[in-house]
A and B are shown apart, each in its own frame.
Chain A
Amino acid sequence: MLATLAIASLVRHRTRTVLAILGVAVSAAMLLDMVMLSSGMRESFRGLLLSQGFQLRLSPRGTLPFDTEATIRGADSLLAVIRARPAVVAASPVLGGQLHFPTSGAAVTASALGVEPAVQGDYELVAGRQPTAPNEIVANDATFRAIGHSLGDTVRAAAGYDPQLRTYSGERTLRLVGRVRFIYLALDQRAVALPITTLRAMNGPASTDRISLAMVKLRPGADVERERAALHALLPQVTVTSTAQALEQVDQRLSYFRQLAVILGSVSLVVGFLLVTTLVTVSVNERIGEIAVMRAIGVRRWRIVGQILLESSALMLIAAPLGLALGLVTARWLDSILSRFPGLPERIDFFLFQPRAAWTALGLLVVSGILAGVYPSWRSASLPIAVTLRQEAVG
């Protein structure tokens, strides 16, 4: 019966209720977006780091992977030490560099990754096959477009280019055998991958027995932190970073994003709260006489409070799904804008939908809806009955 009264109260002023629901829905959408933003980039980065199953990354001492152009010398012995560890399933060496492709106009430059194709974790094959032979190479769409070649074509590539003399060094003829998508690179960033031995040979003696990074995959159930510490002790010339540590670094770098998200999320929650409080207060003020009569005939105070809280909660519960839908649409739109930021990996999302985020937003909304009704409901249920009825009779 109280539910009937609560619904009737909302239906009595349809326009006002609809406007309030829309207002709360916008606030809910903003809240969801901010909850998604506060954890989305981190979770997205985490997914990215773990997508190929590598839990440890070894980079030159004091650096983060690909943070500098520094390389690790003695790569072969280093890899032998790593691969000898019982917990290690695979170790994937990566040598970073650049390749230049002479075209009819200016040379096209692309980031180049020297890898061991059998264990690499830097790209996903979209078409074709892995570059298993020394003269084979794979490239992403941006590179294919820039150099104007197709899968199966043969191209000239050079490791060095002097723009003043317009001369190339370390030239090779390579065959494009695969179209790939690089996991850690931006969508529009030109990039290629080829066997590490080929890239070393093209670079010349400077990169002999060198790598920029090694990624390590451990057996299922292996203690990652323990293995990280063991490798760190065995290989003092490198910094061993676990995914958890990398995420800590990401957290530090993204802290302002989270702060912004928390502030904007709180603001939207407060706006929704005030909106519902205002609506419930207005609605309750219109029914002061009705409430006094209910009290006079013996309806308990907490029951009236419950009825009004039901109204505010119902508002929130109706608005929440609308807000969540709106939030997902706006998140996708905002994500598409922010993802165009130069240099960001293609797979990084600013707004990552997680059921937990949605439940968090929904929970916050419902709690704030209930709280929004507490003051007006308690106030109305506590008014002196006789005085209120007299005022109603006079009014």
Chain B
Amino acid sequence: MTGKAIVEVRDLVREYRMGEERVPALRGVTFTVDQGEYAAIVGPSGCGKSTLLNLLGVIDRPTSGTVSIAGERVDQLDDARATEFRLRRIGFVFQRFYLLQALTARENVELPLAEAGMAGAERRARALELLDYVGLGRRERHRPSQLSGGEQQRVAIARALANRPALLLADEPTGELDARTGAEMIALFERLNRDGTTVVVVTHDEDLARAAKRVIHMRDGTIVDDVRVDPADRRVEPAGLAPEPHER
């Protein structure tokens, strides 16, 4: 780890109540992600990776443990502060794109900018700049229903980048795309990271995981492996994790 830590997670536990029973989704996870890193969280379904992503994205609260993003504790924020934090510091990309169907591509990108209080002309210029960045500059007036899955996901990425977030989170971003479009998306994420965006993706997609600089393997709510991928000599080296509580 060479950069400043953007994500710091300590002893994170998340349990769900199923009637009288408590079902653990995360069993004490500890790790950090440095600024400029590109990390992929992989593992079988139900291993807790999406739960972890939700906690990093401040759309859920842990049962115990702490989460700090860009130096700010976010695990116990009230609703208003959590919303403000998501707006300005987090970018979210979902498997199903989740664009607002009533809005054009440009308006979808403008939504978080408008929410952040950016004035109309500046907002439009920024939205167009982002659409250009993801290769959709000429599709600004199209509504989601007029765009392909890959194009919709590009708009979703542009929307996620709108307020220059400290952290971009993506939940199975290639899950709904065909192989060719998925490959384009992988290339886009690599480019985003090269351009300085810190990226954490949750994925089943091996190609997407391989493209990441770091792969965190999860199973049964714990991190079982954490490796850094050296693209130069394709050497895999340990990420220097603090040992998980259950492994001690």
Is the pair A4, B103 in contact by a Cβ cutoff of 8 Å? yes
- Asked if B72 is at the interface of the complex by the 8 Å CB criterion, the answer is no
Q: Is A298 an interface residue, CB under 8 A from the partner?
A: yes
* CB-based contact B95/A393 at 8 Å: yes
How many residue pairs at the A-B interface have CB separations less than 8 Å? 78
A329 contacts partner chain B, Cβ-Cβ < 8 Å: no
Residues of B near A385 (CB, < 8 A) are 54, 59-60
B27 is an interface residue with CB less than 8 A from chain A:
no
A270-305 contacts to B, CB under 8 A, are 289-290, 293-301, 303
Nearest CB of A to B14, in Å: 10
Residues of A within 8 A of B102 (CB): 4-5, 8-9, 12
Chain B contacts to A: CB under 8 angstroms: 50-51, 54, 57, 59-60, 79-80, 83-84, 86-88, 90, 92, 94-96, 98, 100-103, 107, 110-112, 114-116, 159-160, 163
Query: What's the Cα separation between A386 and B86 when bound, in Å?
Result: 13
A105 within 8 A of B: no
**How many of chain A's residues have a CB under 8 angstroms from any CB in B?**
26
A153 to chain B, nearest CB (A): 77
- Tell me, in angstroms, the Cα distance from A8 to B59 when the chains sit together: 27
Give the CA-CA distance A290 to B87 in the complex, in Å: 16
A165 at the interface (CB under 8 A from B): no
Per the bound structure, the CA–CA distance linking A44 and B112 in Å amounts to: 57
The answer on a CB contact under 8 Å between B111 and A296 is no
Q: What is the CB-to-nearest-CB distance from A294 to chain B, in angstroms, rounded to a whole number? A: 7
A393 to B51 Cα, complex, angstroms: 14
A296 x B100 contact (CB < 8 A): no
Whether A86 is near chain B, meaning CB under 8 Å from some CB there, is no
Most central of A12, A299, A392 by chain B CB within 10 Å: A299
Cβ distance B120 to chain A, nearest Cβ, rounded Å: 10
Smallest CB separation, A48 vs chain B (Å) = 55
Cross-chain contact A298 with B84 (CB below 8 angstroms): yes
Residue from B84, B110, B163 within 8 A of A1 (CB atoms): B110
Q: How far is the CB of A302 from chain B (nearest CB, A)?
A: 9
A-B contact pairs, 15 of them (CB 8 A): A1-B107, A1-B111, A1-B114, A8-B103, A295-B83, A296-B94, A297-B86, A297-B111, A297-B159, A298-B116, A298-B163, A299-B112, A301-B79, A384-B60, A392-B96
